[in-house]
Structure 1
Amino acid sequence: MLDEINNRKKALLEKIKEFRLLDDDFMSKVFEDDYECIELLLHIIMEKSDLKVKEAHTQYTIKNLIGRSVRLDIYAVDTVGKKYNIEVQRVDKGAAAKRARYNSSVMDANSLVPGSDFIDLPETYVIFITEKDIMNGNKAVYHVDRVIKETGKSFDDEAHIIYVNGAYRDETPIGQLMHDFSCKNPNEMYFKILADKTRYFKEDEKGVTAMCKIIEDLIDSEKKEIALKMLRDGKLQKEEIAKYFGLTLEQVEELERSQYVQS
């Protein structure tokens, strides 16, 4: 039993060593409750060194009572009321144009209280940091805004979409930032604040313990998701599913009940 525990811990520690800021679960933990880190990110991407954040959340869920809710990697509001959704995506389809459109629309839908005027809608930015250059333009940053085709003028609806090329490298702040997002070793990072937070979750005992808990929760969630799919398929008995996935029979039965609640 002790050997099994030690082997599991060793496997978790090896996994933590491989984490980068491009891994959204790790990124969310590094930026959690850290306005200074989020401001650094926005200063560089927005090219506004005076931007100040007054509210920020990671893994922030916006409910949609009649449609699909969304969970945002980072949600922030600056001191003049502009709203930002920052998403890290390693898979191209996760940063699809309609995903950006939907995130933008859900932020808008939750920005006005009943009776308020549409002119009160805040300026919003949906920002995708992608591992690859999904726009294939060899640019560091791509700005997407609505324009009037016939005149070429801006539609000026103050809804902006930005794609940041995670593969971009040079000695500018954005090139260095994207290097840091891909870096496993905090000692090789350019930005001290990001290096310090990364080092905390990779080397400090408390930080490593927090990351181990997150990984274990993710593994447990994935196991339950697969077990639920097998329950729906009906190919295995509940006792067999419990055995193969290391769950108790009570946990499997709770999953079975949950599928009827969700359906």
Structure 2
Amino acid sequence: MDLGKVVITLKEKEEKVKDLRPIDDVFFEVLANDVNFCQEMLQILLEDKNLVVKDVVVQSSERNLYGRSVRLDALCVLGNGKKCNVEVQRSDNDDHLRRVRFNAASIAVKDSQEGEKFEQIEDIIVVYISQFDIFKADRVLYHVDSTIRETGNRVDDGLYRVFVNTEVKDGTTVSEYMECFLKKEVNNSKFPAFTKRMNALKHEERGLNAVCEVMEKYEQKAVEEGLSLFEKAITMLASGKSPSEVVLTGVPQNIVDRASRAMKPKLNK
């Protein structure tokens, strides 16, 4: 028994997760770790009611063979053998198209076999869920295809990209489904798997335990990353770098300020 581990009650766990929404990374990671939820989600977002999901691998799963550099919020294996990587993004602070390309390429390379012909490389679908309209064309759903510029003909290179957002409200089923991603509770008869999964994670002990466990992992990772950045700042300041130079290397200003304060007693000796 770990005597240093704080045990919290079921009620306290409910309080801890009550404000989490499907659009939040930490919550979606647990939410998507369910075949029925992912199957219903992809049937709606890919507009294919016959679509089947056979398996799901989430970012924190021990079965994740792709590494943390490849974002796998939910990698779904479909009934036809294709893989569909679902990503969730709240902040508009990245080059989203390049992120999609990198992750899809990483999955394809990891899953390819030595000596395999290119025609044997598996098709990959990417569903990119964002809290903002990425293309600012007032649409809830976008399909991005590779095309020949001169003819306008579509080229099938095995990569299918679908971008969907929670910002645009157009009255469609997809839009209604995406609205659920912004809610703390979901109770919609149109989306029974979504409703059931949300209720399990918010109000049942097993689900609450799963959410809290992932939250703790995220919190621990944040602490470790903060400590690493703090140590980097201390080392750079000690070598004569100015605070502004340290910030330019990617260390947040607040961590540089803390490191500077920690260095002052040593400098005054």
Structure-2-length-normalised TM-score: 0.76
Which residue number in structure 2 is paired with residue 58 of structure 1?
58
Aligned 8 A contact 2:26 2:218 in 1: no
Instruction: Tell me whether 81-90 or 197-206 shows the greater mean CA deviation.
Output: 197-206
Residue 103 and residue 47 in structure 1: after superposition, are their counterparts in 2 closer, same or farther (change >3 A)?
same
SS at match of 1:132: coil
Which residue number in structure 1 is paired with residue 107 of structure 2?
107
Which residue number in structure 1 is paired with residue 243 of structure 2?
none
1:85 is displaced (CA, Å) by 0.6
Identity value in percent: 30
1:149 is displaced (CA, Å) by 0.4
**Paired positions, count:** 228
Distance in 2 between residues matched to 1:101 and 1:50, nearest whole Å: 27
Aligned 8 A contact 1:144 1:160 in 2: yes
Aligned 8 A contact 1:12 1:215 in 2: no
Which 5+ residue runs of structure 2 have no aligned equivalent?
1-5, 238-269
Distance in 1 between residues matched to 2:11 and 2:133, nearest whole Å: 34
Which residue number in structure 1 is paired with residue 256 of structure 2?
none
Question: What letter is aligned with 1:97?
Answer: L
Distance in 2 between residues matched to 1:155 and 1:187, nearest whole Å: 41
Which 5+ residue runs of structure 1 have no aligned equivalent?
237-263
Question: What letter is aligned with 1:167?
Answer: E
Question: What letter is aligned with 2:231?
Answer: L
Higher relative contact order (CA closer than 8 Å, sequence separation 6+): 2
Instruction: Tell me whether 211-220 or 152-161 shows the greater mean CA deviation.
Output: 211-220
1:95 is displaced (CA, Å) by 6.0
1:191 lines up with 2:218 in the alignment: no
More helix by share: 1
Aligned 8 A contact 1:126 1:160 in 2: yes
Which residue number in structure 2 is paired with residue 25 of structure 1?
26
Instruction: Tell me whether 208-217 or 41-50 shows the greater mean CA deviation.
Output: 208-217
Match runs of 1:213-228 below 5 Å? 213-228=213-228
4+ residue runs over 3 A deviation: 5-15, 60-64, 187-190
SS at match of 1:234: helix
Distance in 2 between residues matched to 1:8 and 1:219, nearest whole Å: 19
Distance in 1 between residues matched to 2:152 and 2:233, nearest whole Å: 53
Aligned 8 A contact 1:128 1:164 in 2: yes
Question: What letter is aligned with 1:79?
Answer: G
